[in-house]
């Protein structure tokens, strides 16, 4: 691997007193032995961050801006030199004297090296900046203690900013285009949705976590270029700037983390935001981005996403929205709380480039198990959709599953709308509730939990209803509840055949044990 993940840090004092020196850190990408690329969030406590916030995307070229930046420390894993020297022998002897005799003294976790460098170039990516304006305008980006609104505004301004560090020289100028061009040559196009990725980062600026690895998959792609990737690979504060690789024997570099912690509509966003470096660097250098090979699928999930895209629709009802499953014949299944205000608001469906109105044929009462609604739309508009296939066998604890929904979308580009897909496993199973670890947010309500078979086909196991929420308002997107299809599907299928709406009233299951199981308040968050 020609690039490696590192920790980027510097010492900073808010009042100039040495006794109050703070260490600010982020993750970064070291390449070509001399250069380190990191994310603009590392500048957040400095006065230069306000300059960037007010620059409105204009390049920062004045010397005063750079001269006042602190010295940068780069912490990376120490590698054995090809030609041993006397200093390595002294270090080894020192470790042997200070560590337990059972320890592996030569293990890399005991050995790090710290390099120093200077910031030589800072710039704002216009592609990411537009993404912030179009998609993330209502988000709260990770912040420190204090004024949340001001910190979020600064976080959004810095989300599209990148920082280049030179480990060998203090000179600055147009030469920075050369290392960025070198890095672009190392970058590969981002994989499609469903493909596995690997993140290397150092959360919390702690050397104990140096260059830790987390894995996940690409859950969604924003923009045509693309501008942003969503992944369910778990990260934490300080992971910003860490390299993201595609999974495989070569682990090729595809992107960098730009946001690990964010909030939206009062919920923690469980997905990590990744900037595709091909798009970022090509925009900076004004060249064509790396071409995307289409000859071979990158992951088995890419073969089934077409089935997801043509069976899961977006539902809009006033300011509320969620997901729905296409059942065939113009019928869609969603959650009752998604269309709770259908009497005073129009219900609309969007899927695979088509939009049409819908009517609510039936919905369960508020806060009753099960939280389901049946919609009907003119089937002539949906001939290109594929009715969902429902599982005959019950879910098993521990089996892998995927969830699909519409947490984030651009109001002006609904024609390109595709569901976000996250992966997880079944946590718990009962005849009336399925619990999974898939990351779900607002917009997943009514969306499916799919079982993926070995033949690259999908079956619906359950319909997502809610995730966990504490009495203080904190949401947990990786703890969620869904209604198993075996609990309701026979009633829905009977109605579609016989059109006897009275039989749907059985969806409001009045069994005390089931109502008690779904009475999760305050540990329930309708999504």
Q: Locate 486 and state its tokens.
A: 């075996």
Q: Specify the DSSP element, H or E, that contains 283.
A: helix 277-285
Domain membership flag for residue 504: no
Q: CA torsion, points 386, 387, 388, 391, in degrees to nearest 10?
A: -120
Q: What is the pLDDT of residue 336?
A: 94
DSSP, collapsed to helix, strand or coil, labels residue 436 as: strand
Instruction: Identify the CATH number of the domain in which residue 226 sits.
Output: 2.40.10.120
In 14-160, the DSSP E strands lie at 21-31, 35-39, 72-77, 112-124, 140-141
313 in Cβ contact with 326 (< 8 Å): yes
pLDDT in tens, 116-165: 999 999 999 999 998 888 888 888 886 555 566 777 888 888 999 999 99
Instruction: Round to whole Å and give the CA distance between 507 and 324.
Output: 17
Q: How far is CA 369 from the centre of its chain?
A: 30
Q: What is the pLDDT of residue 49?
A: 87
Report the domain count for the chain: 1
Nearest-5° Cα angle at 222, 232 to 137: 95
Domain membership flag for residue 487: no
Q: What is the pLDDT of residue 479?
A: 87
487 φ/ψ angles, rounded to the nearest 5 degrees:
-85, -20
Nearest to 256 by CA among 279, 289, 225: 279
Q: Locate 40 and state its tokens.
A: 């603009």
Residues 6+ positions from 146 with CB-CB distance below 8 Å: none
Q: Specify the DSSP element, H or E, that contains 137.
A: none
Domain membership flag for residue 135: yes
Neighbours of 496 (CB within 10 A): 16
CA atoms within 13 A on the CB side of 380: 1
* Residue at token pair 């929904």: 405
500 in Cβ contact with 449 (< 8 Å): no
235 in Cβ contact with 214 (< 8 Å): yes
Q: Which domain holds residue 213?
A: 3-285
Domain membership flag for residue 505: no
Nearest to 142 by CA among 126, 161, 164, 158: 158
Domain membership flag for residue 345: no
Q: Is 20 exposed, middle or buried (0-12, 13-18, 19+ CB in 10 A)?
A: exposed
- Backbone angle region of 329, left / alpha / beta, with phi > 0 → left and psi within -120 to 50 → alpha: left
Q: What is the pLDDT of residue 154?
A: 86
Q: How far is CA 367 from the centre of its chain?
A: 30
Neighbours of 353 (CB within 10 A): 10
- Backbone angle region of 525, left / alpha / beta, with phi > 0 → left and psi within -120 to 50 → alpha: beta
Which residues of the chain fall below pLDDT 70?
1, 15-19, 56-57, 60-61, 79-110, 142-148, 170-175, 292-302, 411-412, 454-455, 471-474, 520-527
Domain membership flag for residue 107: yes
Please tell me what DSSP assigns to residue 371.
Answer: -
Q: Specify the DSSP element, H or E, that contains 249.
A: none
Q: What is the pLDDT of residue 108?
A: 60
Q: Helix count (H) and strand count (E) of the chain?
A: 10, 28
Q: What is the pLDDT of residue 12?
A: 85
Q: What is the pLDDT of residue 297?
A: 47
Domain membership flag for residue 43: yes
Nearest-5° Cα angle at 455, 450 to 460: 20
Domain membership flag for residue 72: yes
């Amino acid at each position: 691997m020609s690039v490696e993940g590192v920790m980027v840090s510097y010492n900073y004092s808010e009042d100039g007193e040495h006794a109050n020196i703070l260490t600010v850190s982020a993750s970064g990408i070291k390449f070509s032995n001399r250069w380190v690329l990191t994310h603009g969030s590392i500048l957040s406590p400095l006065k230069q961050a306000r300059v960037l916030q007010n620059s409105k995307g204009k390049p920062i070229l004045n010397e005063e801006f750079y001269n006042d930046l602190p010295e940068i420390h780069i912490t990376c894993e120490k590698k054995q030199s090809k030609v041993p020297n006397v200093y390595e022998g002294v270090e080894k002897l020192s470790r042997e004297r200070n560590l337990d005799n059972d320890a592996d003294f030569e293990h890399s976790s005991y050995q790090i090296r710290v390099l120093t460098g200077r910031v030589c170039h800072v710039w704002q990516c216009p592609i990411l900046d537009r993404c912030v304006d179009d998609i993330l305008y209502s988000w709260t980006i990770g912040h420190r203690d204090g004024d949340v609104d001001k910190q979020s505004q600064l976080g959004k301004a810095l989300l599209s900013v990148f920082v280049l560090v030179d480990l060998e020289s203090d000179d600055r100028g147009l030469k920075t285009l050369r290392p960025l061009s070198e890095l672009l040559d190392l970058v590969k196009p981002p994989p499609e949705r469903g493909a596995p990725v690997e993140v290397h980062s150092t959360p919390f600026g702690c050397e104990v976590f140096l260059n830790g690895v987390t894995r996940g998959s690409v859950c969604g792609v924003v923009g045509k270029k693309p501008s942003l990737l969503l992944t369910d690979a778990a990260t934490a504060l300080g992971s910003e700037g860490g390299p993201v690789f595609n999974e495989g024997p070569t682990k090729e570099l595809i992107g960098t983390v730009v946001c690990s912690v964010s909030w939206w509509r009062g919920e923690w966003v469980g997905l990590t935001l990744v900037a595709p470096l091909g798009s970022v660097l090509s925009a900076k250098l004004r060249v064509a981005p790396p071409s995307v090979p289409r000859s071979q699928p990158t992951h088995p999930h890419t073969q089934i996403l077409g089935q997801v895209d043509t069976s899961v629709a977006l539902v809009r009802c006033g300011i509320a929205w969620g997901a729905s499953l296409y059942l065939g014949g113009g019928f869609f299944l969603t959650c009752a709380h998604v269309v709770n205000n259908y009497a005073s608001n129009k219900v609309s469906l969007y899927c695979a480039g088509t939009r049409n109105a819908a009517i609510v044929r039936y919905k369960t009462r508020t806060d009753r198990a099960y939280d389901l609604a049946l919609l009907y739309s003119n089937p002539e508009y949906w001939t290109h959709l594929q009715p969902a296939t429902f599982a005959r066998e019950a879910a098993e604890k521990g089996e892998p599953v995927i969830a699909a929904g519409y947490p984030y979308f651009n109001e002006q580009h609904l024609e390109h709308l595709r569901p976000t897909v996250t992966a997880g496993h079944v946590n718990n199973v009962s005849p009336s509730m399925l619990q999974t670890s898939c990351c779900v947010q607002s917009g997943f309500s009514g969306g499916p939990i799919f079982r993926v078979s070995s033949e690259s086909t999908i079956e619906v196991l359950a319909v997502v209803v809610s995730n966990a929420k504490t009495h203080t308002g904190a949401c947990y997107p990786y703890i969620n509840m869904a209604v198993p299809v075996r609990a309701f599907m026979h009633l829905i299928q009977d109605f579609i055949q016989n059109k006897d709406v009275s039989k749907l009233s059985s969806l409001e299951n009045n069994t005390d044990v089931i109502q008690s199981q779904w009475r999760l308040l305050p540990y329930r968050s309708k999504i």
